[in-house]
Amino acid sequence: MLPMPTRWWGWGDTAHSFSLAEHSRLWPFISSRIGELATANLPVDINAIELPPPRLGAAELSELAVLAGGESCLATDKESRVRHAYGKSYQDLIRLRRGQLDSPPDAIVFPRSHEAVMGILALAVHRQLPIVPFGGGTSVVGGITGPDQPYLVLSLAALNRLISVDSISRTARAQAGISGPELERSLAGYGMTLGHFPQSFEYSTLGGWIATRSAGQQSSQYGKIEDMVLALRLATPRGELATLALPAASDGPELKRFLAGSEGTLGVITEAVLRTWPIPATRDYQGILMPSFEAGITCIRQLLQKGLKPATLRLANTAETLATFAMRPTEPSGVRQWVNQLAKRWLGPLNDRCLLISGFEGTIAEVKRQKHYALKLAKEGYGGVSLGAKVGQEWYRQRFALPYLRDVLLDHGIMVDTLETATMWSNLSLLYQEVNKALETALANWGTPGLVLCHVSHAYLNGASLYFTFIARQDPDHVLEQWWACKSAALHAIVANGGALSHHHGVGRDHAPWLTKAIGPLGVQLIQSARHAIDPAGLLNPQVFAGTDKLQS
Amino acid sequence: MLPMPTRWWGWGDTAHSFSLAEHSRLWPFISSRIGELATANLPVDINAIELPPPRLGAAELSELAVLAGGESCLATDKESRVRHAYGKSYQDLIRLRRGQLDSPPDAIVFPRSHEAVMGILALAVHRQLPIVPFGGGTSVVGGITGPDQPYLVLSLAALNRLISVDSISRTARAQAGISGPELERSLAGYGMTLGHFPQSFEYSTLGGWIATRSAGQQSSQYGKIEDMVLALRLATPRGELATLALPAASDGPELKRFLAGSEGTLGVITEAVLRTWPIPATRDYQGILMPSFEAGITCIRQLLQKGLKPATLRLANTAETLATFAMRPTEPSGVRQWVNQLAKRWLGPLNDRCLLISGFEGTIAEVKRQKHYALKLAKEGYGGVSLGAKVGQEWYRQRFALPYLRDVLLDHGIMVDTLETATMWSNLSLLYQEVNKALETALANWGTPGLVLCHVSHAYLNGASLYFTFIARQDPDHVLEQWWACKSAALHAIVANGGALSHHHGVGRDHAPWLTKAIGPLGVQLIQSARHAIDPAGLLNPQVFAGTDKLQS
């Protein structure tokens, strides 16, 4: 395969990055909270990385290449091995930047068909060779972690086609390795969209979304990915496992919903049938400033429970609101001047204000009607102040850009990570406070007090998700230990207070220590028994759903 | 427990029945299609039934009573054993009416708490005693079938409370044995509804709905029961299995959706947290006459895909339309005269017309807007003719009444059964034709040509369900063989043509022979492995999900 024009040590396309020069207020904002910043702390040169030679023999490699579809479907070169060794979690990036690859894959296969995947799995069983399935490689929970023995990464990159569209039923069948942009581009040819736009959209894949129960930023309208899947096809070590495309059924325990979320452990998802929608005639995103996080939460809940169908309702807490405003481009624009004026005139200081982004998608009339209703309720019911469409549009335009900022912060020795959860409306404030407190305490205990930001990222009829970001100076001698102290404190608080283990990132290896607490010992055994039935030798993504609450290498 | 004022040999309350005198056109309509009718063929007197004595010892029974909550929580009398031996399938009713109870339960327990259910399961494991969980006893697929050995029925009848309401999150927690009317009455005290009204509503229970993935007649708006469940609590032989109430999550394979549909095999559902809705301000049901089944199907699809949110779109084929009109009360009412006039004037004979019931529920303004849109599209787009609200209201009023008619037909030696499936819109006409043909051919081959009726019962964005009724003279010497020939022919056609094994009745014992064809051998093994993990001794509802395609006793 041709090397991808993306960063092996960070996020996205090498042609894009987050420019500090264009966001000159951000730096002072962050350093005012976390203290002096380290000097440049850049990733090693890839040429400096030395990997042990692949532990697979020439005969085995040649057999794999044949099974996958030819010589071009196998890679053992260093760059490919580095690029497929990890996902994109904070821990992954730290290790990559250090060139610390303790257990890189011995080879990467790029099978060209479902049948080729089946063949590779059969060989893997024969040779007792673990397999780590790889979609876009964007996991932030350790979903891509190889075992301490020879193993194979199975990339779905060559299974990247839209297979067919059923315009009567409004569905599409696609291969699992198709990326977000490829899928949307293909569907657009039929006037359709999937409506699934997670922050990782540009690099993540359909199969990865399904395997991790991903949520797009418009999930209030389009649902989570598992709501969109009408059928799945998997290649497993014991044969094909496929479900029928059905609008609804009563055929026993729902397999499709059990296989979604299996994170590569119950087979390799190779195809899915998806619910699609006509591309909306219009999209309208607005910024609204709410007087408090509580008022914003109640307003969002009311909007949904009164029957509105927003695409997005996204509410930043005060800290994240301030960070968002600090992140606006440096050059004072008309918008910013107006916001500043407005803020001064109507709101006083921003200190306890919260930014709400409301988005509607659909027909022009319907979007207009709903937007007006939302603005009216926010203003009259909860003291919100409209910041207008430009703030909303700016959020929409920048909605995939934040991961680039993470790389810049890492370059400067700043720890930054995110985690998310969900709960019922009646428990949302408690969960928010407890996780916030856990993160702040963990940061302070480490001696690196920092910034804890939070927003309500996905809102539903009966509850919502909370998305936390924590930022602090790295402890240079204990970079991963510091991070794990914060992460594990937050996870403890989440499971102790009725939160979902994750809302849309998955379990991976990093959340696995809390899985038993989250779903109970019998729930874990149910998953283990399924795993044993499908994959008796335990070869599929063996590091996932397993682990202790100690930091793992 | 006090005996229920319901028919042990048939449907519902003994105070209600379907009166032939009040529906005098129905009899000629049926007999004109299926030939002369048999004379009365009534159920045996319960006093004439002799059951073998319970095979459980006094010590065991006394232990069970203590575990369940006292003497009143155990029954071993004949009537209780008869009433808990079967569900309400055609086969069940035939056996009951004959007094043919080959394997009645040895005892019935009515535990008073989740903990009591746990205690009974522990005892069952200790004594290797199979357990058949029993909700409302309305299964029509053999979901309540005891094994050929001593066993216990575990009735949820005493677990019938609404536990709590979360008005902020708009959810309710209820015990699984609560019946439809009890649940709705309790929720109404909070101004809420679940919106789940299957035909069995008056007698079926929350736990039964969840265990079989039931669908209410308003599923287009409120979803199927599995869409409404936010959390489940089960008692299992290996301990409690409970999921957290969450609006959405990414915590691995979705257990809640796997446990729903488990039909008593993965534990006894004791509680659920449910999404609730404010009671709609208004309900509007309309009758529309469509020029053909095809036109009706396309119209329904368009209504949904254009964004309407109907509660019900229910389209009868021509045969069922004629049957529906023949079933109207005898006395000519203003409505009927008007329908007849209208039909004569605008439509000519009814021979290829199809009755569509469209129902909307919600705010007055929204219901009005949607109804007008639906009527306009049906009329202008597809040649529909409005029959007005009275036809719709009549359907709504009678929506739980049809099972009473079945008993009357059985009294007269008529075979009548229903079965249902679902598929994507693009496959709906093919599936309809193939199942229709299979049933007609099976009836003809048996020498008892009859009536095959069908309606689209539940419609979704991407597809819909088909609900078939077949009616013929019984073959008195081979009553069950005749029925099985028809039922199995339909099921063969369903699985051969991409239909769901069932849309909302479940697998039970009767559909189990086609389970492997429907979900694949690996899918079946996945369920079996889960069953083994939760219930290693195989004690929970052992007859379900297992069986051959031979008629089983």
Is there a contact between B287 and B395 (Cβ–Cβ < 8 Å)?
yes
Verify whether the Cβ–Cβ distance A362 to B307 is below 8 Å: yes
Q: Which of A265-269, A544-548, B196-200 has the weakest average pLDDT?
A: A544-548
Q: Which of B245, B252, B532 sits opposite A545 (nearest CB)?
A: B252
Q: How far apart are CA A229 and CA A225, in angstroms?
A: 6
What number of helices (H) and strands (E) belong to chain B? 20, 18
Which amino acid type is present at position B348? G
Closest-CA residue to B457 (of B441, B472, B443, B468): B468
Q: What is the mean pLDDT of residues A201-215?
A: 98
Q: How far apart are CA B92 and CA B95, in angstroms?
A: 5
Q: Within 10 A of A171 (CB to CB), how many other CB atoms are there?
A: 26
Question: Would you say the C-alpha torsion A324, A326, A332, A334 has a positive or negative sign?
Answer: positive
Q: Is B239 on the interface with A (CB under 8 A)?
A: yes
pLDDT of A332 strictly over 90: no
Q: Rounded to the nearest 5°, which phi and psi values hold at A123?
A: -65, -40
Residues 409-468 of A with CB under 8 A from B: 422-427, 458, 460-465
Closest-CA residue to B400 (of B228, B181, B172): B181
Residue with tokens 């999209």: A283
- The whole-number pLDDT of residue B231 equals 98
Distance, in angstroms, between B528 CA and closest chain A CA?
9
pLDDT of B4 strictly over 60: no
| A363 chain-B contacts, CB cut-off 8 A | 307
Q: What is the mean pLDDT of residues A113-134?
A: 97
Mutate to test the interface with A, among B192, B250, B502 (most CBs of A within 10 A): B250
> Counting Cβ atoms within 10 Å, is residue A257 exposed (0-12), middle (13-18) or buried (19+)?
buried
Q: Residue B155 — pLDDT band, cuts 50, 70, 90? A: very high
Cα torsion through A472, A218, B465, B11, rounded to 10 = 60
Residues 287-326 of B with CB under 8 A from A: 301, 305, 307
pLDDT of A1 strictly over 70: no
Residue with tokens 């209780």: B80
| A511 chain-B contacts, CB cut-off 8 A | 251
Provide the 3-class DSSP secondary structure of residue B63: helix
Q: How far apart are CA B468 and CA A371, in angstroms?
A: 44
Q: How much is the ipTM here?
A: 0.95
Fold of A51-158: 3.30.43
The residue in chain A having the minimum alpha-carbon distance to the alpha carbon of residue B496 is: A244
The residue in chain B having the minimum alpha-carbon distance to the alpha carbon of residue A246 is: B423
Host H or E run for residue A315: strand A312-316
Q: Residues A512-544, buried b or exposed e (16+ Cβ, 10 A)?
A: bbbbebbbbebbbbbbbbbbebbbeebbbbbbb
Q: How far apart are CA A140 and CA A5, in angstroms?
A: 21
- The whole-number pLDDT of residue A172 equals 98
Host H or E run for residue B193: strand B192-193
For the stretch B126-148, pLDDT in tens is: 999 999 999 999 999 999 999 99
Residue A402 tokens, joined: 């934040």
Distance, in angstroms, between B246 CA and closest chain A CA?
5
pLDDT of B222 strictly over 80: yes
- The whole-number pLDDT of residue A103 equals 92
Catalytic residues of B: 467
Provide the 3-class DSSP secondary structure of residue B359: strand
pLDDT of B182 strictly over 50: yes
3-state percent breakdown (helix, strand, coil) of chain B, nearest 5? 40, 20, 40
For the stretch B418-469, pLDDT in tens is: 999 999 999 999 999 999 999 999 999 999 999 999 999 999 999 999 999 9
- The whole-number pLDDT of residue B2 equals 44
Q: What is the mean pLDDT of residues B359-382?
A: 97
**Distant-in-sequence contacts of B326-333, Cβ < 8 A, 24+ apart:** B326/B23, B326/B25, B326/B26, B326/B29, B326/B30, B327/B23, B327/B25, B327/B26, B327/B405, B328/B23, B328/B25, B328/B394, B329/B22, B329/B23, B330/B21, B330/B22, B330/B23, B330/B24, B330/B25
Q: How far apart are CA B519 and CA A394, in angstroms?
A: 46
Is there a contact between A85 and A105 (Cβ–Cβ < 8 Å)?
yes
Q: Which of A242, A252, A261 sits opposite B253 (nearest CB)?
A: A261
- Is CATH 3.40.462.40 correct for A282-399? yes
Q: What is the mean pLDDT of residues B190-208?
A: 98
| B252 chain-A contacts, CB cut-off 8 A | 261-263, 506-507, 515, 519, 527, 545
Mutate to test the interface with B, among A250, A255, A313, A373 (most CBs of B within 10 A): A250
- Average pLDDT score, chain B: 94
Verify whether the Cβ–Cβ distance B262 to A253 is below 8 Å: yes
Provide the 3-class DSSP secondary structure of residue B389: helix
Q: How many CB pairs under 8 A join A and B?
A: 293
Q: How far apart are CA A259 and CA B104, in angstroms?
A: 38
Q: Is A257 on the interface with B (CB under 8 A)?
A: yes
- The whole-number pLDDT of residue B547 equals 66
**Concatenated DSSP letters of A236-283:** ETTEEEE----SS--SSS-HHHHHTT-TTSS-EEEEEEEE-EEPPSEE
Q: Within 10 A of A392 (CB to CB), how many other CB atoms are there?
A: 25
Percent of chain A with pLDDT over 70: 94
Verify whether the Cβ–Cβ distance A261 to B275 is below 8 Å: no
The CATH number of A162-278, from 3.90.1200.10, 3.30.465.10, 3.40.50.620, 3.40.50.2000, is 3.30.465.10
Q: Is B525 on the interface with A (CB under 8 A)?
A: yes
Q: Is A536 on the interface with B (CB under 8 A)?
A: no
Which amino acid type is present at position A304? L
Angle at the Cα of B139 from the Cα atoms of A229 and B46, rounded to 5 degrees: 180
pLDDT of B226 strictly over 90: yes
Provide the 3-class DSSP secondary structure of residue A410: helix
Q: What is the mean pLDDT of residues A180-195?
A: 98
Residue with tokens 């419609």: B459
Residue A326 tokens, joined: 């600090």
Q: Residue B73 — pLDDT band, cuts 50, 70, 90? A: very high
Mutate to test the interface with B, among A246, A421, A457, A515 (most CBs of B within 10 A): A246
What is the architecture, at CATH level 2, of domain B43-158?
A: 2-Layer Sandwich (3.30)
**A440 against A15, higher pLDDT:** A440
Is there a contact between B143 and B544 (Cβ–Cβ < 8 Å)?
yes
- The whole-number pLDDT of residue B343 equals 61
Q: Which of B500, B526, B528 sits opposite A255 (nearest CB)?
A: B526
| A498 chain-B contacts, CB cut-off 8 A | 244-245
Residues 91-150 of A with CB under 8 A from B: none
**B43 against B546, higher pLDDT:** B43
Q: How far apart are CA A441 and CA A77, in angstroms?
A: 44
**Concatenated DSSP letters of A138-188:** --SSS-S---SS--EEEE-TT---EEEEETTTTEEEEETT-BHHHHHHHHH
Q: Is B281 on the interface with A (CB under 8 A)?
A: no
Q: What is the mean pLDDT of residues A510-525?
A: 96
- The whole-number pLDDT of residue B341 equals 64
Q: What is the mean pLDDT of residues B92-105?
A: 96
For the stretch B227-268, pLDDT in tens is: 999 999 999 999 999 999 999 999 999 999 999 999 999 999
Is there a contact between A40 and A411 (Cβ–Cβ < 8 Å)?
yes
What number of helices (H) and strands (E) belong to chain A? 20, 18
Q: Is A262 on the interface with B (CB under 8 A)?
A: yes
**Concatenated DSSP letters of B496-517:** HTT--S-SSS--TTTTGGGHHH
Q: Angle of helix A515-534 relative to helix B515-534, nearest 10 degrees? A: 130
- Is CATH 2.60.40.10 correct for B403-505? no
Q: Is A168 on the interface with B (CB under 8 A)?
A: yes
Residue with tokens 């889960």: B530
Verify whether the Cβ–Cβ distance B258 to A258 is below 8 Å: yes
- Average pLDDT score, chain A: 94
Q: Residue B337 — pLDDT band, cuts 50, 70, 90? A: low
pTM: 0.96
Q: Residue B348 — pLDDT band, cuts 50, 70, 90? A: low
For the stretch A84-109, pLDDT in tens is: 999 999 999 999 999 999 899 999 99
Q: Residue A329 — pLDDT band, cuts 50, 70, 90? A: confident
Closest-CA residue to B506 (of B134, B87, B137, B143): B143
Q: How far apart are CA A123 and CA A387, in angstroms?
A: 59
Q: How far apart are CA B318 and CA B172, in angstroms?
A: 41
Q: Residue B338 — pLDDT band, cuts 50, 70, 90? A: low
How far is CA A105 from its chain centroid?
A: 23
Q: Can you give the residue ranges of every domain in chain B? A: 43-158, 162-278, 282-397, 403-505
Residue A506: left if φ>0, alpha if ψ -120 to 50, beta else—which one?
left
Beta bridge partners of B144: none
Q: How far apart are CA A458 and CA A439, in angstroms?
A: 21
- The whole-number pLDDT of residue A547 equals 66
| A196 chain-B contacts, CB cut-off 8 A | none
For the stretch A297-325, pLDDT in tens is: 999 999 999 999 999 999 999 999 999 98
- In words, the CATH class of domain B282-397 is alpha beta
pLDDT of A428 strictly over 80: yes
